[in-house]
Structure 1
C-alpha cells in the first residue's frame, strides 16, 4: 500500500509513449456511448491490469464484488510489478495488446493523457452525479485539457497521527492535536522531554516520496506551491516553503526526531508510528490497521496536517485511478465497472466495510466509519487534499537523486542558507520541467 510514495524507478520513456499516438479508429458499436449501469454491457471475460505494491486487498475485494454481481463478464485481474507497470502499459498500447481496463498510479496519469494513450471518457461520465463528490485529488489528475479519463480506484491520504498515551504523559490534552506548526513544535518539545527513546516527531530523512506525502502538505497548508507544472512555471513559491523548512530544521536541532530517521528511505516508514516511540507523525490511513497490529494497547488519534496559520491544513491524496487504455475493445464494460465503483452500495458495503477510505466524500458518514471513528477522522483529509499535477513528477519530486529531496536534506541537516537552498532547488526543478 505504501509503494506510491516510495522512490519509483520507472521507465517513463517519451519515445514509447508518443510512438503509439495517432488518430483513434472509428468506434465500434460496443464502443459507442451507452448509458452507464453497474452491470455488463456485453458478455465475456474482462481483462484488467493493476500495479503491485498498491492496495491489493482493496482491489481484490472490488473485483470480487463485481464478479459476484456480474458472472457473465467477470474481471480477470493481473498484477504487474510496480516498477514495470509504466513501461508495460506503453508497450501494450504501442503493440495493441492492452487490457480492457486498468488501475494506474494516479501520479502518472497526466503523462499518459497528454500522449493520448487513454480513452477520453468525458461524454460517458461527465454528467454522473457521483463525479461531483469523487476524490478531488484523483479527479484533478484524471483530467487533461478539460477531458476526463478515469475515476478513483482507491485512495490513500496523509494525516497527522498522534500517540495519546504520550500526550497524556507529557501533560497534553489527548483529544486536541496541534492545529499549527507552532503548536506542533511545542508539543514535540514536551514529548521529547519525557526522555528515554521517545521523540516528539518523525521526519523521514532519505525518502523523497515520504516527504511529499507528509511534509508537502505542511507547505500547501502554509500557502506554498511546490512543483513546476510545466515549462515556464515557477516552483517552490510562497513563504510557506521557507517557513516549513525552518520548522523542520528546528525540529532536528531540538532533538525531536530519532537519529535513525535520517536514513529512512521508505522501507520502514509505515512501521514507525506503531513502535509507540513517536509522539506525532505524518502518515497515511493505512497506518490505522498497521499500528493496531503492531501495538494493540496503544491509544492514538488522528488530526490534519497543519500549516503556519492556526487551523490551516492540507493532505496529499494518493492511490490509483481506473482508466481505459487506448485500443480497449470493451470501453462500455469498463465504464460500467467505474460506475459500479462509485455506486452508493459499493462505497459503503465494500470500501467502508473493509475500513478503507471511500472515494466519494459524501459517503464517509456511514455505519462502518461511525463504528470506527479513526477512519472517519482520516477521511476528513479528503476535503483538504490535493495531488501534484505535472508531467515530470518523478524527476522533480520522487527521484532519490532529485531536487526535492536534495533541498530537504540540506534544510534538515546543514546550516546552509535556506534562501540559497530554495533557489538551487527552484533552478533544478525548472530545468527538469523544461525538459518534460
Structure 2
C-alpha cells in the first residue's frame, strides 16, 4: 500500500496495524510517498505497470484518475455494502465517476471554526456561543483585537491556496456561492456569497483583525497558529484538537461551524483520503477486503473513534469515545454540512500556488482593486482552465 506523506499518518498507521494484527497471513506493507510526488509517481507507475496493490489518495484528485481509467472499477464488488449508505458524502462523491465506484474513505478531515474561549471571556463574549454569521464573526473579532498587545481576532492564511479552500471556501458555500468549474460548461464563482466573503475578508484585514505575518503563510506553519493562544478565531480542521492541547494545555477552546452571510447557515470542506486500487494491481480482492474492514463497526469505533479521529461513517459518530470528548462531537457536526469540490482540474483552478483562486484572494485581501474586477478575472481564468482539460 502506498500513502502520501503529509496526510493523517498516525491514523493510517493505526489502521494498517489493526488489519495486520487480524490478518497475519495477509499483512499490508505500507510505504509513504512524499505528498508532492504522489500524483506523478502513481501516474508513472500505472503507465509502467509498477503499482502498489492499493493506495491512499488525496480525495480531491480521484476524479481525474477515474476519468483517465487509471483506477479499478469496484462497483460490482462494493455497491451493495450497507456501510456505504452512511459513508462520508464528500468522499463518496469524488469516489464516483459516471455512476461507477472506485473507492471508500480512508480518513476524513473536516473544516470548522475553532475559537479561543479564554479570549472570548476576556473580550466580554459568551465563551459557549461561537459566531453563527459573518457579521457576528466580525463583531467578535473586533472585540478580541481591541484587547490589544499581540492578540488578533481572526486568522487568514495569505499565501496558501489549500488552506483557503479548506477554511474560506466554506464561508462562500454557506453564503450560497459555488466556486469551482466542474466541467468546461460550468460557470465558476457564482452567487452573491463570493463577493460577500471577499468583502468580509478584506474588511478583516483593513480593521487590523489579523496579524501582518499571516500574509506570508504558505501552509507550513498553519497548524501551529491557533495553539499560540494569540488568535481569537480560526478556520482549521479536526486534526488540530489533540495538537492544540499538546501545544497549549491550559488554553480553553471551542469548535463551531464555519458560518455564512445569513445567521444559522454553515458549511465545511470535507477533505482526507480515499482507499483506491490502481489499474494493474494483482491483489484487488485483498484490497477490497481491506476496504470492508475500514468501514466495519468495530474499526470505526475501536480504531478511529478511540484515537479521537473522525469516523468515516456518520452513523458511528454516537459512540462511547466521542461522548467523552465534546470537541470531537462538535467538529463531527461539520460532516453533515460538508462538501468536497468535484472537478478534473482542482489543482490548476484551486490548489496551485500560481492559480486563479489564490490570486483572487490575495488581491481581495491586500489591495483596493474593485472586487467585481477581481472576481471577473478569476472567473475567466478558472473557466479557461476547465475548458482546456
User: Is TM (by shorter chain) over 0.5?
Assistant: yes
What's the counterpart of residue 342 of structure 2?
A: 389
Distance in 1 (alpha carbons) for counterparts of 2:198 and 2:103: 35
Shift of 1:104: 0.5
Indicate which of 297, 311, 318 corresponds to 1:365: 318
What's the counterpart of residue 426 of structure 1?
A: 379
Indicate which of 279, 292, 310 corresponds to 1:339: 292
What's the counterpart of residue 24 of structure 1?
A: none
Indicate which of 247, 254, 258 corresponds to 2:200: 247
What's the counterpart of residue 113 of structure 1?
A: 66
SS in 1 for 2:170: helix
What's the counterpart of residue 59 of structure 1?
A: 12
| Match status 1:321 vs 2:268 | no
Distance in 1 (alpha carbons) for counterparts of 2:52 and 2:206: 51
Shift of 1:358: 0.5
Distance in 1 (alpha carbons) for counterparts of 2:215 and 2:299: 41
Distance in 1 (alpha carbons) for counterparts of 2:339 and 2:312: 14
User: 5+ unaligned residues in a row in structure 1: which ranges?
Assistant: 1-47
Distance in 1 (alpha carbons) for counterparts of 2:226 and 2:84: 34
Alignment of structure 1 residues 23-422 onto 2, 5 Å: 48-422=1-375
Quote the RMSD (CA, aligned, Å). Answer: 0.7
Shift of 1:130: 0.7
Shift of 1:83: 1.3
Q: Deviations over 1:80-119 (max 9, x none)?
A: 1111111111111112121111111111100100001111
Distance in 1 (alpha carbons) for counterparts of 2:149 and 2:311: 39
Q: Give the stretch that moved more between structures: 287-296 or 343-352.
A: 287-296
Distance in 2 (alpha carbons) for counterparts of 1:329 and 1:407: 45
TM-score (norm 2): 0.99
Shift of 1:139: 0.5
Alignment of structure 1 residues 9-24 onto 2, 5 Å: none
Q: Deviations over 1:342-377 (max 9, x none)?
A: 000000000011111100111111111111111111
Shift of 1:327: 1.3
Shift of 1:232: 2.2
TM-score (norm 1): 0.88
User: 5+ unaligned residues in a row in structure 2: which ranges?
Assistant: none
SS in 2 for 1:210: helix
Distance in 2 (alpha carbons) for counterparts of 1:399 and 1:178: 31
Shift of 1:233: 1.1
Distance in 1 (alpha carbons) for counterparts of 2:41 and 2:148: 50
Q: Deviations over 1:331-350 (max 9, x none)?
A: 11111100000000000000
Distance in 1 (alpha carbons) for counterparts of 2:37 and 2:159: 23
| 4+ residue runs over 3 A deviation | none
Distance in 2 (alpha carbons) for counterparts of 1:374 and 1:299: 11
Distance in 2 (alpha carbons) for counterparts of 1:94 and 1:207: 32
